[in-house]
Structure 1
Amino acid sequence: MEIIIEGCGSMKPAIYEAAIKGDIALDDSKLDQRSPQKNNILHIAASRGHDRLVEDILRLRPLHLKLENSAGDLPIHLAASSGHQSTVRYLISEAKEKGVKEGLMAANKEGNTLLHLALKNEKEEVGELLFVMNKEASRCLNKEDKSPLYMAVEVGYLHLVTEMITYCYSGEMRQGKSIVHAAIETRNKELLENILSLKPSLLDSMDEHGRRPLSYAASIGYIDGVRYILEPGRFPQNSYMRDRNGFYPVHTASEKGHINIIQEFLWHYPDLRELLDRKRHNIFHTAAMNGKANTVRYMLKVPKLENLINWKR
């Protein structure tokens, strides 16, 4: 069992509680204490949005701006995570004034910048502020390969996503997790439409399993997303493109037993029933091999599909 000795990784309880409340008389004995997670008094004040206390601390300890806690967070990271806009503004201005490089682009041990953390914690106003102050941060990838743009899609911030896409893809954008897949995963049709109208080429992006967006939507049974992508004249080629596993999107729907998705595919493109995956299986074989009894029964009842059982491979 780890024993924390006061002064070597602990903060006096009275000081800790006073810092949380923002009501503390500062002196040298209090300024340099650390909590078990190596938060100093500035970390605590910033995380609570105590602007006056933050100002007082920095007058006495200006370099506390660049001290990290055990997670690699600077005080400004905690202010951004907690959504304290005025505190974030002040700490950024102080960092610039004092020539401290750490700030807008600083990342913690998980690779999260201020913008990542604001969006991860659903602090939209702080996220918008940080994007305006440093748009380049929206391209940064954390250790999960997520950009702030991806996180903005996850939480559904339509306006911010639009602004970020316009900026991010005006130059070089590092490949990270697909924002189209994120919109599909959250079943946000408005965001999906917005992303693909601005950047239709993203429909060719793949997730970590080698699935394009249409196949991913088919795999989770997201009928509205499938319908949007299949709309006449929109993205016809995507129904005829294999994923890394050798499946076409209609095979993925069959594998998962999503009858309504299969119906949607065949309503738009009836000849998809003829497609064979890399192992020469049609959609009937795929459903049968994956134990999708309801899907098999459905196909046997549809005259146009019943001959798939005897299809030569």
Structure 2
Amino acid sequence: MDSRRHKAAVQGSSASLAALLWEEGGAKILNSTTPQGNTALHIAAGFGHVAFVEAAVGEHGDLLIAKNNEGDTPLHLAIRAGSMAVVDKLFTFSTLAGPCWPEEEPLIMMNNAHNTPLHEAVKHRRSAVALRLLDEQPLCGRTRNMDMLTPLHIAAREGLTDVVDKIVDIPWVPEKFIATNNVNGTALHQAVLGGHTRVVEILLVKTAPGLIDLTDAVGNTALHFAAQKNDKRMVRMLLDHRPDLAHRRNDRQQSALHVAAYYGSTAAAAELLRHSPDSAEMLDKDGRNVVHVAVSKVDTLRSLLKLMSLQADVINQGDSAGDTPLHLAAKMAHVQSTLTLLKDPRVNPCLLNRDGHTARSLVEERLTGGEMDAYVVYLWEKLNKYESRRCKNLQQLPPVAVATYQVQSLRRRGHRSGSGNDEYLGPTRSWPPSSPPSPSPPPSPCPATSGLAIHADRAAFSIFLVSNTIAMCSSIAVVFCFIWAWRVPAKFNLEHLIWVHILTVIACLAMIVSLMTSAYLTVLPTKRWPAYLVITIGACTPVVVILILGKEAFYIPFVQKPLLPVDVKSHNSNGDIQI
């Protein structure tokens, strides 16, 4: 296509088109294309030039079914660009021609991705265009593209209620006879994925009863999708329509509750348990229940432990390898999940897996194997503490292979994993002696190099963080106030001084609190007296200041006056203020 034709199409000049047609001898010039295969009609349709489109189609009607390199017709491009006036004009020409097309009609032609104009209309949320296409070609609503998506799938996902309503009203083969090898599932899956409750209601009421039973390519029902999206309302709607859906498993034998726990969908999990409390007992292909799966999501784990108030057997159930949720938390070195389980009185830290390990001895294997970072040491300390408290009368437990004094030595020396200093552990022995070494546990989800604080779960650490931040930020604010005051002293008044005074007092108090809590956290529990001395001195400091200054310690000027009685009269040659 030469530059004049391209320019005429881009500008939408029908006069230029008429001149070219007269000059070059008729409509044959309209068959020329760009390197992308676009004709002049493609270009004009994409830019929304109605007059040019009308003139071009009037000269050469076959341009309506011309395809570019992507297989798009001008109607595809017009819908994609949202040129409704051009779409209307192309509709008119397409319907007037009727059955006279040498190939398939423009209204149902597919591009290289097998998308029809109706696919493009619903994908770009052109409801009016989609409804008009359905009036002309009703069966296009169920045509699948390369991704196995029909316009009904896309309209359901986009929440186009009127389009979905119109498509399902058109007689069609029931969904239950369509193969479910689609990774996108059915239109119901897509509606759930988009969170469109009204569309879900339409599909459940107006389609075949078996639609809700259909799965995607890996066996997930629509309820699995709702659980993944943490859509409580959608879960309730589907379960009200089909209560036994909570017991349906996918190809990995996972129920919707397993999926909710895996994705941390706390609200969906609560709704599933409310409808079907026994679904907590369902096992996946690894023999794991919902508590096993929730170990990696501490918020979901806490919620499940509160909801399952009477199901201690589920909380302590072993999987195919005999691992309880506590064993899994210990294997993953997930401190927060481990502590959450240990604080629950129903959790039994004395149980053994099939290799004869408790949760404590699993972590101990990592210590004796050389993985001795503070993160793992802290986890071992907690497990050892709870195990010694709750399992006093049990003899079959594996013996402790790491002494407490060795752990304290590791803490003091700041040992890190991978350093190769195994002498810190001293002589150790594995348990049981006759059994072969168990496989290496999976790597920690939060390695030692991430700098996780071992006191993160203590209240003193939280106080330290907050007070230290307040002190730092208040000090920075005071410094910038004085920098600004030095630059323009004439504008620094008592109002600014009041704020500087208040922020300075806050910074000082926060620094005292930060000092006291840091001393308390870092001093060994066996030698607390230095920490108590620091806390006493810090607490007495404000009292000493008040005793020395008296009421002046609380004085803050409240009179709105300039800091210095200056009279800015003029400036000298250097730009300095003359008083």
Bin of the TM-score, shorter chain as denominator length: 0.7 to 0.9
Which residue in the other structure is 1:213 paired with?
222
For 2:302, the aligned partner's letter is R
Aligned match of 1:150 in 141, 149, 153? 153
Does residue 1:250 correspond to 2:250, yes or no? Answer: no
C-alpha distance in 2, partners of 1:223/1:99? 51
Question: Residue 193 and residue 31 in structure 1: after superposition, are their counterparts in 2 closer, same or farther (change >3 A)?
Answer: same
Deviations 1:139-166 (A, max 9, x none): 1111111111112112221121011012
C-alpha distance in 2, partners of 1:182/1:230? 17
Aligned match of 1:159 in 154, 157, 162? 162
C-alpha distance in 2, partners of 1:296/1:123? 43
For 2:219, the aligned partner's letter is G
Aligned match of 2:138 in 135, 141, 144? 135
Deviations 1:219-258 (A, max 9, x none): 1211111111123xx2011111111121111111122222
C-alpha distance in 1, partners of 2:144/2:235? 28
Which residue in the other structure is 1:275 paired with?
282
C-alpha distance in 1, partners of 2:309/2:157? 42
Aligned match of 1:89 in 82, 88, 91? 91
- Greater Cα shift, 200-209 or 124-133: 200-209
Does residue 1:308 correspond to 2:314, yes or no? Answer: yes
Partner SS state of residue 39, structure 1? coil
Q: How many residues align?
A: 299
C-alpha distance in 2, partners of 1:46/1:124? 19
Higher RCO structure (Cα 8 Å, ≥6 apart): 1
C-alpha distance in 2, partners of 1:218/1:119? 26
Deviations 1:23-75 (A, max 9, x none): 13222455243223211111122334434322322343333233211111122
Does residue 1:41 correspond to 2:40, yes or no? Answer: yes
C-alpha distance in 2, partners of 1:48/1:91? 18
Contact 2:9/2:44 (CA < 8 Å) preserved in 1? Answer: yes
In structure 2, list runs of 5 or more residues that go unmatched: 320-579
For 2:90, the aligned partner's letter is V
Question: Residue 38 and residue 283 in structure 1: after superposition, are their counterparts in 2 closer, same or farther (change >3 A)?
Answer: same
C-alpha distance in 1, partners of 2:224/2:62? 51
C-alpha distance in 2, partners of 1:300/1:156? 36
For 1:216, the aligned partner's letter is F
Contact 1:95/1:101 (CA < 8 Å) preserved in 2? Answer: no
C-alpha distance in 2, partners of 1:59/1:228? 53
Which residue in the other structure is 1:3 paired with?
none
Question: Residue 255 and residue 163 in structure 1: after superposition, are their counterparts in 2 closer, same or farther (change >3 A)?
Answer: same
Does residue 1:183 correspond to 2:191, yes or no? Answer: yes
Contact 2:107/2:116 (CA < 8 Å) preserved in 1? Answer: yes
- Percent identical pairs in the alignment equals 28
Question: Residue 17 and residue 109 in structure 1: after superposition, are their counterparts in 2 closer, same or farther (change >3 A)?
Answer: same
Contact 1:50/1:87 (CA < 8 Å) preserved in 2? Answer: no
Contact 1:215/1:252 (CA < 8 Å) preserved in 2? Answer: yes
Which residue in the other structure is 1:123 paired with?
126
C-alpha distance in 1, partners of 2:311/2:200? 32
Partner SS state of residue 108, structure 2? coil
Question: Residue 97 and residue 258 in structure 1: after superposition, are their counterparts in 2 closer, same or farther (change >3 A)?
Answer: closer
Contact 2:125/2:160 (CA < 8 Å) preserved in 1? Answer: no
C-alpha distance in 2, partners of 1:198/1:49? 38
Q: CA deviation at 1:22?
A: 1.9
For 2:278, the aligned partner's letter is D
Does residue 1:292 correspond to 2:297, yes or no? Answer: yes
C-alpha distance in 1, partners of 2:50/2:282? 63
C-alpha distance in 2, partners of 1:239/1:94? 53
Which residue in the other structure is 1:21 paired with?
11
Which residue in the other structure is 2:60 paired with?
61
C-alpha distance in 1, partners of 2:103/2:31? 22
Contact 1:299/1:305 (CA < 8 Å) preserved in 2? Answer: no
Question: Residue 110 and residue 275 in structure 1: after superposition, are their counterparts in 2 closer, same or farther (change >3 A)?
Answer: same
- Greater Cα shift, 222-231 or 60-69: 60-69
Which residue in the other structure is 1:202 paired with?
211
Q: CA deviation at 1:174?
A: 4.9
C-alpha distance in 2, partners of 1:100/1:174? 32
- Greater Cα shift, 129-138 or 164-173: 164-173
C-alpha distance in 1, partners of 2:99/2:11? 28
C-alpha distance in 2, partners of 1:242/1:60? 60
In structure 1, list runs of 5 or more residues that go unmatched: 1-6
- Greater Cα shift, 183-192 or 275-284: 275-284
Which residue in the other structure is 1:4 paired with?
none
C-alpha distance in 1, partners of 2:50/2:150? 29
Aligned match of 2:273 in 266, 273, 286? 266
Question: Residue 142 and residue 247 in structure 1: after superposition, are their counterparts in 2 closer, same or farther (change >3 A)?
Answer: same
Contact 1:183/1:189 (CA < 8 Å) preserved in 2? Answer: yes
For 2:108, the aligned partner's letter is M
C-alpha distance in 1, partners of 2:221/2:174? 23
Q: CA deviation at 1:263?
A: 1.6
Contact 2:64/2:90 (CA < 8 Å) preserved in 1? Answer: no
Higher Rg of the two aligned structures: 2
Q: CA deviation at 1:95?
A: 4.2
TM-score with structure 1 setting the length: 0.85
C-alpha distance in 2, partners of 1:230/1:195? 15
